[in-house]
Amino acid sequence: MNFYAHITGWGMSVPDKVLTNDDLAELVDTNDEWIQSRTGIRERRIATDEQSTATLATDAAIHALDKAKISPSDVDLIIVATSSPDNIFPATASIVQDSIGAVKAGAFDISAACTGFILALNMAAQAIHTGSISTALVIGSETLSRFLDWTDRSTCIIFGDGAGAFVLQASEEPGGVLSAVMRSDGSGADLLGLSAGGSYYPASEPTIHEGKHFLFMNGKEVFRFATRVMAGATKDVLDQADISLEELDWIIPHQANRRIIETAARRLKFPIEQVVINLDRYGNTSTASIPLATVEAAQEGKLKPGDKIVFVGFGAGLSWGSLAVQWTGPLPEERRKVWPYRLLGLYRFYVRLRSLLLRWIRFWEGLIWGRPPRQ
């Protein structure tokens, strides 16, 4: 049997704290006019000390489940795409799994920088196509502000924090994720990244002094690469899905830079009015940017069931990719399971209690049984 992976829920979460271009001009030698004309960004959101990639991802996930009207216990798989995970390991997805009480879900992270959300969507869709799972939660979440050098005006003006999530559900009705393109060129690994804290440059005093824990970027080269690949990846994914550019309703691109997006649209001869852009308010939120733009477009009523959409992204790696989708929206009422979101506060209390109980049981088991004998 053929299963199709439909997007049936979506949600987002951004920190309340807004950092405008004028605020940045007090930190580094820049100004609103320069940033807006070079990037299109007016402001971005910055996580508070209490927020992390996992907490933003959790909030976005809950909104997406609410939209799809399904319970966390229906989720089979959680994938978090992120470039700023809470830890190197465990996966941020596992923290989200515990926080939302997705008791039967597997969970893992995808690291492919800003392209990560597209790869994560494709992996979840493929698992649904094969019949291996029926419901997935795919999240892009970032707190890149924690990895920025706030004295470097060439990078700190670009990025912002936030999270967006999709629910994917299996259905026998054609639609949902139609095709995908995934590409990489590791010869450009030195153009954009964050090198320290991994196994090649473990955290040490010299790595801290040399600022290797901060994001680095060769803006000009990344710009050239991005404008080159975006139009091609869009055409390739449309060819695979047998959709013409004229039939396409929306392009939802990675929100890196307005000039990059406009150049790609011009190359494709695609009307810019049908390209979703919200980077002016959030900056580049890496893996979160495509779902954030999608959620806002859906909330504004732009996306209609049946619309054909291309998501296209690029980023460090170098990596790039695209995904063609037929928009679905929540499944019809009679097929939904009712998830009592009115009881959300109670549910969150239960989930926290459950997590504490599991830790408590593990603690007592350790005391009673002791450590396992050495082999």
Which amino acids are annotated catalytic? Answer: 114, 254, 284
Q: Cβ distance 221 to 111 under 8 Å?
A: no
Query: How far is the CA of 297 from the CAs of 103, 119, 193, 250, 371, in angstroms?
Result: 31, 21, 29, 10, 53
Closest CA to 121 of 240, 291, 274, 247: 291
Nearer to ligand COA, 19 or 157 (CB): 157
Burial label, 216 (beta-carbon count in 10 A; 0-12, 13-18, 19+): middle
List, in sequence order, every residue forming a beta bridge with 165; answer none if it has no partner.
Answer: 11, 139
d(C-alpha 141, C-alpha 79), whole Å: 11
CA 47 to chain centre: 16
- In the complex, least distance from residue 31 CB atom to ligand COA, rounded to whole angstroms: 7
**Cβ-based nearer residue to ligand COA, 71 or 227:** 227
Q: Shortest Cβ distance from residue 289 to ligand COA (Å)?
A: 9
Q: Which is nearer to ligand COA, 34 or 341 (CB)?
A: 34
Residue 137 CB, nearest approach to ligand COA (Å): 24
Q: Which is nearer to ligand COA, 154 or 278 (CB)?
A: 154
Of 167 and 261, the one with the shorter C-beta distance to ligand COA is: 261
Give the interface with ligand COA as residue ranges (CB under 6 A): 30, 34-35, 38-39, 114, 153-154, 157-158, 217, 219-220, 222-223, 226, 256-257, 284, 315
Tell me whether residue 153 or residue 302 sits nearer to ligand COA (CB atom): 153
CB of 365 to ligand COA, least distance (A): 45
Q: Which residue is nearest to ligand COA (CB)?
A: 219
Least Å distance, CB 39 to ligand COA, is 5
Of 175 and 219, the one with the shorter C-beta distance to ligand COA is 219
The minimum distance between CB 165 and ligand COA, in angstroms, equals 20
Strand partners, 321: 182, 313
Residue 153 CB, shortest distance to ligand COA, in Å, is: 4
